[in-house]
Amino acid sequence: MYRPLIRNTASHCAVAARPIACKGYASSATPPPFNWEDPLNAKSLLTEEEIAISETTEAYCQERLLPRVLQAYRDEHYDKTILEEMGELGLLGATIKGYGCAGVSNVASGLITKAVERVDSGYRSGMSVQSSLVMGAIDMFGTKEHKDKFLPSMAKGKLLGAFGLTEPNHGSDPGAMEAVAKPHPTKKGYLSLSGSKTWITNSPIADVLLVWAKYHETGKIRGFLVERSQCPPGTLETPAIKNKNGLRASLTGMIHLDECPIPEANMFPDVEGLRGPFSCLNNARYGIAFGITGALEDAIARARTYALERKQFKGNPLAKYQLVQKKLADATTDAAFGTLAAIQVGRLKDMGEEAPEMISMIKRQNCDRALWNARVLQEIFGGNAASDEYAIGRHVANMYVTQTYEGQSDIHSLILGRAITGVQAFC
């Protein structure tokens, strides 16, 4: 069994306070050994609590998730009891304080996503939607009633969430969405929600769907909590999107709302416009930027093992050849740089000093570099890369999606370009 996360308030937010032992410049005759699994000693930047959370989550993921992922990916199956297991460990909504959540630092929550994504980006996606996009939104924008009603069961993984922003005609440009909430023609105190959302993680199994739609009176975007159990037949459909090329271990679907009655009280009261969805996306994008380094590290570890074991030309291991070594050097460098950048942004988040553009920067950089490197590492496996048993093809296919969702990399380039030049280039 795994220990649930226990919050040690003393070491919660700050960088581990350690005495600085001055050994003098270049005084050591034997420099510390290079650790290819943590080349820049990112661990030295973590608190004891963060290290313990990381180790607990890594152990759970390697022992319980890894054995399931190959079959889940083949069958395009998501076992929703995974969220209950994660809930028991305190991994869901981990940064939220109260409501049965662990209340850990943003760096600790990044380490959780990294451990899960080391196994599979789809498992991390299912968790991120629950934690950052739905629980996070309720915590940020919900009323006390929303929080009391939804957060404790969501923290346990007993109530599942989905986040509906993307529409069939509006992906990168959600401001142009067509979903709309109008007064309900017959039910007093209710709104009538209509519209379609697509590519929505967890939608086929979600109990509560956070749907973003334009409010009739103002034309501004508002957030609505749609409870599946309260929707009359025919007003809510959530068909699965089957036969995906990537993220097959997570469930993705559509949301169709046809004059669905929603209590007015289920609308987030005070947030309007794109600030609502984008605030939630910021947290989730941070999780992706941190998490994807786990998937890249897994690709590196697998490619390294393969390169050491596979022999070609006079019985030499592939690892002996310079071109192969360069591929591993490039990927290892990018994983290490990406991890440090994610920790830095996490620390700034803990202090409330992160700019959204910082998150765009690490989401774009870490996802782009992970995809590029994993695609190159795939070559080390030769023909065997075509077999799903070697996992590398699964990571590459998943990484395409991580580079695409929650703002495709080119969109994050435009966000950064706007911040650098002051000139808007979206339209």
Ligand X SMILES: Cc1cc2nc3c(=O)[nH]c(=O)nc-3n(C[C@H](O)[C@H](O)[C@H](O)COP(=O)(O)OP(=O)(O)OC[C@H]3O[C@@H](n4cnc5c(N)ncnc54)[C@H](O)[C@@H]3O)c2cc1C
Site residues for ligand X per CB under 6 A = 129, 163-166, 171-172, 199-201, 247, 252, 401, 404-406, 408, 410-411, 426
Pairing of strands 208-215, 180-183: parallel
Nearer Cβ to ligand X (107/415): 415
The minimum distance between CB 323 and ligand X, in angstroms, equals: 31
CA–CA–CA angle 58, 60, 66 (5° rounding): 85
Please, are residues 352 and 358 in contact by the beta-carbon 8 Å criterion?
no
d(CA 393, CA 381): 10
Nearer Cβ to ligand X (46/247): 247
Closest CA to 379 of 316, 314, 326: 326
406 is catalytic: yes
Nearer Cβ to ligand X (124/302): 124
Closest CA to 339 of 115, 123, 96, 126: 115
Region class of 408: left (phi > 0), else alpha (psi between -120 and 50), else beta? beta
The minimum distance between CB 53 and ligand X, in angstroms, equals: 25
Tell me which residue has its CB nearest to ligand X.
171
Nearer Cβ to ligand X (124/369): 124
The minimum distance between CB 196 and ligand X, in angstroms, equals: 12
- Say which of 49, 117, 297, 406 is annotated catalytic: 406
CA–CA–CA angle 194, 198, 199 (5° rounding): 155
d(CA 332, CA 304): 10
Token pair belonging to 224: 């609505």
The amino acid at residue 398 is N
**Cβ contacts of 394 within 8 Å, gap of 6 or more:** 69, 73, 120, 248, 388
The minimum distance between CB 390 and ligand X, in angstroms, equals: 22
The minimum distance between CB 33 and ligand X, in angstroms, equals: 40
The minimum distance between CB 102 and ligand X, in angstroms, equals: 23
The conformation of residue 69, written as its DSSP 8-state character, comes to H
The minimum distance between CB 166 and ligand X, in angstroms, equals: 3
Mapped onto helix, strand or coil, the DSSP state of residue 205 is helix
For CA atoms 406, 407, 408, 412, give the dihedral sign. negative
Nearer Cβ to ligand X (271/324): 271
Nearer Cβ to ligand X (26/427): 427
The amino acid at residue 115 is A
Q: Facing residues of 37 across strands?
A: none
Please, are residues 165 and 275 in contact by the beta-carbon 8 Å criterion?
no
How deeply is 388 buried, as exposed, middle or buried, from its count of CB atoms within 10 A (0-12, 13-18, 19+)? middle
Query: Which amino acids are annotated catalytic?
Result: 406
